[in-house]
Amino acid sequence: MLLLAIESSCDETAVAILSGEPGQPARILASEIASQIELHRVYGGVVPELASRNHSLHLRPLVEQALATAAISLKDIDCFAATSGPGLASSLLIGATAAKALAVAAGKPFIAVNHLEGHLLSPFVATGKVPPHVALIVSGGHTLLLDVAKPGHYRRLGSTRDDAAGEAFDKVGKMLGLPYPGGPEIEKTAKGGNTEAFSFPRSMLKDPSFDFSFSGLKTAVLYTLTDRNPDYGTPRTSDLPDLCASFQKAVIDVLIAKTLRAARHTGRDTIALSGGVSLNQALRHAFTAACAKEGLTLLTADSGLCTDNAAMIAFAALLQHFDGHQSPLDEDIDPNLALAT
Ligand code: KG4
Ligand code: ZN
């Protein structure tokens, strides 16, 4: 079974080709990404109009590159898939329309994939098997805690009430004068910093829900900067490692506390981390230690599958295909597509 998937929900154009059989590890034959990070960096965030224009420019060469890397031709592909939401409407349209067109031209099925399901399933590409677990998706746009009975059966436990974890990293990075995206920059700068130097809030820890909130933490960093420097704008360079380490620790503490509580609540013995923020090594180390202490198994995605990519979309589509599912060609994109209620 050979499947080609396109991901274009935000600022990365990505095409992947996977081969797989039910219950077997999926083989990534190609996973190509045309990153737009440099393009958007000057604006400090993603500009939707620029993103969609660049998706249309890069998509066709990227499909050809993926086929060349996989050493196959278009007629070998058994099924086509694309992200249909959530994301930027103008960006989603490019990838979804292209995948549908390829499917029609080849007379093969099309499968629409929820971007969040792609992230959620990314830790299981290597095994092809998805055990019942608690999933934490931490990306630039989402912070979502779910109970997963099996693929396609998701129950929402909690989500962020304001900023996503990655968004908080990016906004705090911007405040600190670090380049976009702030997540990896904060992680780098935090190395050698003191996590206790600043006492930042751990919001909603006492709240019985599984929801998160990161806007108070973001404001606390801003107030700290303002207190130190009335002409806010350039914090002292020497404070940066401590500020980054203290902020990062505050995010990690809350993510771990709520996820472990969710595992206890649901009785699941496995936790799976996904999304761009799950690349953060401090987060991975802290989760590894916390899970070991509670006798829980921790699964994470390979590094190439954490930030936006098409291999995770292809894998999610592959599992849907094995389940006998295919999407109608008039299935529309949905910028606010939900994964579970
Ligand atoms: O999953 P992703 O590529 O995009 C969305 O679907 O949103 O995640 C991108 C997010 C950005 O906010 C970025 O700052 C964050 O992941 N990120 C990190 C790290 N690497 C990427 N956050 C913290 N530490 C990192 N090492
Ligand atoms: Zn994503």
pLDDT per residue over 305-326, tens digit each?
Answer: 999 999 999 999 999 999 999 9
pLDDT surpasses 70 at 271: yes
Buried b / exposed e across 85-100, counting CB within 10 Å, b at 16+? bbbbbbbbbbbbbbbb
% of the chain residues with pLDDT over 90: 86
Q: Which of 8, 139, 185 to mutate to test the pocket of ligand 1 (most atoms within 8 A of CB)?
A: 139
86 in ligand 1 pocket by Cβ < 6 Å? no
**Atom 3 in ligand 1: which residue has the minimum CA distance?**
307
Which run of H or of E encompasses 5? strand 2-7
Distance, in Å, from the CA atom of 193 to the CA atom of 174, rounded to the nearest integer, reads: 18
Strand partners for 134: 147, 271
Ligand 1 atom at minimal distance to the Cα of residue 87: 6
| CA 109 to ligand 2 centroid distance, Å | 24
Q: In one letter, which amino acid is 144?
A: L
pLDDT surpasses 80 at 227: no
pLDDT in tens, 56-99: 999 999 999 999 999 999 999 999 999 999 999 999 999 999 99
The pLDDT of residue 36: 79
- Helical H runs in the chain? 37-41, 48-70, 89-106, 115-121, 165-175, 182-190, 215-228, 240-266, 281-294, 311-322
| CA 91 to ligand 2 centroid distance, Å | 13
Ligand 1 atom at minimal distance to the Cα of residue 167: 12
What lies within 8 Å, CB to CB, of 224 at 6+ separation is 198, 200, 243
The pLDDT of residue 232: 55
**What is the pLDDT averaged over residues 253-257?**
98
**Atom 8 in ligand 1: which residue has the minimum CA distance?**
276
Does a cis peptide bond (omega within 30 degrees of 0) precede residue 181?
Answer: yes
The pLDDT of residue 219: 93
Give the pLDDT band (50/70/90) at residue 233.
low
Give the pLDDT band (50/70/90) at residue 266.
very high
| CA 142 to ligand 1 centroid distance, Å | 10
pLDDT surpasses 60 at 302: yes
The pLDDT of residue 341: 78
pLDDT in tens, 35-48: 877 888 888 778 88
Distance, in Å, from the CA atom of 90 to the CA atom of 8, rounded to the nearest integer, reads: 9
307 in ligand 1 pocket by Cβ < 6 Å? yes
| CA 314 to ligand 1 centroid distance, Å | 20
pLDDT surpasses 70 at 241: yes
181 in ligand 1 pocket by Cβ < 6 Å? yes
Q: Which of 115, 169, 273, 303 to mutate to test the pocket of ligand 1 (most atoms within 8 A of CB)?
A: 169
The pLDDT of residue 235: 61
| CA 275 to ligand 1 centroid distance, Å | 7
Ligand 1 atom at minimal distance to the Cα of residue 248: 23
| CA 138 to ligand 2 centroid distance, Å | 9
Nearest listed ligand to the Cα of residue 11: 1
CB 94 within 8 A of CB 53: no
CB 114 within 8 A of CB 9: no
Share the mean pLDDT of the chain: 94
Query: Any idea of the CA torsion for 97, 103, 109, 114, to the nearest 10 degrees?
Result: -30
pLDDT surpasses 90 at 237: no
The pLDDT of residue 310: 98
**What is the pLDDT averaged over residues 282-303?**
97
Give the pLDDT band (50/70/90) at residue 231.
low
85 in ligand 1 pocket by Cβ < 6 Å? no
pLDDT in tens, 162-188: 999 999 999 999 999 999 889 999 999
